[in-house]
């Protein structure tokens, strides 16, 4: 069964998020689709939604705190208000655009692990690393597991090569299977692929050996496309 996750990044309003989530919920319910579906809206759009058990709302980011003085951040007090128990950690935009270090990421991971959150933990290499070959790519990716308890029971991994994110350039099937099989040989956890996944390629990617689903940005923001993505992968 595929795991399909939509990362809204900095898109959608509170209102459009609510209609998106309700529409996806209806779609799953009326078609008896049992895929594990996640939606990560902006933190301003978090809410309590009445959903089928296989549709889960998560947060794209939060600070390793219950509450306190961390301007611009949210903590578990805000997440508890909506019973959010799922978080994305280590996304490439947080690492490379917002400058989160591996040690900050590891601290965040440990904090949310302690609270039993489902963690979707992202890893992936930038273009210059990819260009230096598979061995260097794996070395880079393995460093992103520093300080991370990869045996954590509520862990899902997502391999998202930085050069494939939001670029329209999807990794080739060979790229995906070689990295996924290497990670899988070390860490026995569900492993999603992310990076320019679209309606037209999601089924092929999710059917690859070692791929347990997809983490999708751009192509998931349109609700009809996201439904089609779920439809295309529901039997995989
Ligand atoms: P795109 O699907 O827009 O390439 O983004 C992937 C991603 O970063 C999901 O977290």
Task: Evaluate whether 56 touches 119 at the Cβ level (below 8 Å).
Answer: no
User: The domain spanning residue 204 has which CATH number?
Assistant: 3.20.20.70
Give the CA angle between residues 215, 165, 12 to the nearest 5°: 65
Q: Which atom of ligand 1 is nearest to the CA of 164?
A: 4
> Catalytic annotation on 96?
no
Distance 68 CA to ligand 1 centre (A): 31
- 217 touches ligand 1 (CB under 6 Å): yes
Q: What pLDDT shows up at residue 8?
A: 98
- 89 touches ligand 1 (CB under 6 Å): no
Helices (H), the chain: 14-30, 76-80, 92, 102-114, 127-131, 134-143, 173-186, 202-206, 223-233
For residues 221 and 8, what is the distance between their CA atoms, to the nearest angstrom?
6
Q: What pLDDT shows up at residue 1?
A: 78
Q: Structural domain tally of the chain?
A: 1
pLDDT in tens, the chain (236 residues): 799 999 999 999 999 999 999 999 999 999 999 999 999 999 999 999 999 999 999 999 999 999 999 999 999 999 999 999 999 999 999 999 999 999 999 999 999 999 999 999 999 999 999 999 999 999 999 999 999 999 999 999 999 999 999 999 999 999 999 999 999 999 999 999 999 999 999 999 999 999 999 999 999 999 999 999 999 999 99
Q: What pLDDT shows up at residue 132?
A: 97
The pTM (predicted TM-score) of the whole model is 0.97
- The residues that bridge with 39 in the sheet, in sequence order, are 6, 57
For residues 229 and 74, what is the distance between their CA atoms, to the nearest angstrom?
31
> Catalytic annotation on 160?
yes
Structural domain of residue 188, as residue ranges?
Answer: 3-233
Distance 168 CA to ligand 1 centre (A): 10
Q: Are strands 86-89 and 55-57 parallel, antiparallel or unpaired?
A: unpaired
CA distances from 191 to 52, 146, 204, 212 (A): 23, 18, 15, 5
Distance 196 CA to ligand 1 centre (A): 6
């Amino acid at each position: 069964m595929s795991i399909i996750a939509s990362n809204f990044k900095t898109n959608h309003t509170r209102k459009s998020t609510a209609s998106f989530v309700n529409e996806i919920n209806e779609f799953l319910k009326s078609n008896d689709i049992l895929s594990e579906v996640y939606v990560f809206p902006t933190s301003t759009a978090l809410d309590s939604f009445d959903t089928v058990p296989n549709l889960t709302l998560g947060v794209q980011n939060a600070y390793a705190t219950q509450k306190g003085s961390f301007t611009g951040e949210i903590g578990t007090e805000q997440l508890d208000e909506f019973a959010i128990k799922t978080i994305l950690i280590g996304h490439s935009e947080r690492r490379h655009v917002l400058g989160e270090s591996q040690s900050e990421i590891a601290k965040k991971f440990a904090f949310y692990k302690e609270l039993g959150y489902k963690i979707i933990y992202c890893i992936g290499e930038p273009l210059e690393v990819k260009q230096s070959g598979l061995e260097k790519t794996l070395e880079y990716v393995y460093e992103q597991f520093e300080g991370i308890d990869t045996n954590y029971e509520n862990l899902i991994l997502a391999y998202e090569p930085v050069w494939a994110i939001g670029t329209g350039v999807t990794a080739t099937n060979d790229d995906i299977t070689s990295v996924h099989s290497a990670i899988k040989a070390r860490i026995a956890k569900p492993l999603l692929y992310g990076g320019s996944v679209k309606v037209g390629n999601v089924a092929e990617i999710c059917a690859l050996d070692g791929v347990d689903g997809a983490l999708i940005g751009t192509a998931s923001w349109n609700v009809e496309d996201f439904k089609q993505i779920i439809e295309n992968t529901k039997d995989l």
